[in-house]
Amino acid sequence: MSNCKHCNLSNYGTGCSYSPNKIHEHNENEQKCEFCGSTSYGNGCSYSPTNNHRHGHGDNKCIWCGSTSVGNGCSYSPTRIHEK
């Protein structure tokens, strides 16, 4: 089980009084979204400020789409660049 990096609670979603955006953010690994804990990539994270799932860093994967590509071309990243 992971905890929010701002308040150390195990909650996901809204209600973190220490987060700048009031959303719990976890230091998850590359297998889970940092905002909701889902294993999904792409659209559909209701807690993410961008509505996209953002996974933790690791396994040489883009945190937004799970691809091992580098550079431009990530359709889910706000900058459209693959971030690892």
Q: Would you state the pLDDT for residue 28?
A: 77
Write the DSSP symbol of residue 47: T
Q: Would you state the pLDDT for residue 81?
A: 97
Cβ pair 4, 26 in contact under 8 A? yes
Amino acid letter, 74: C
pLDDT digits (tens, 9 = 90+) for 64-82: 999 999 999 999 999 999 9
Q: What is the pTM of this model?
A: 0.88
pLDDT digits (tens, 9 = 90+) for 2-60: 899 999 999 999 999 999 999 999 987 899 999 999 999 999 999 999 999 999 998 89
Write the DSSP symbol of residue 31: T
Locate 32 and state its tokens: 């889970």
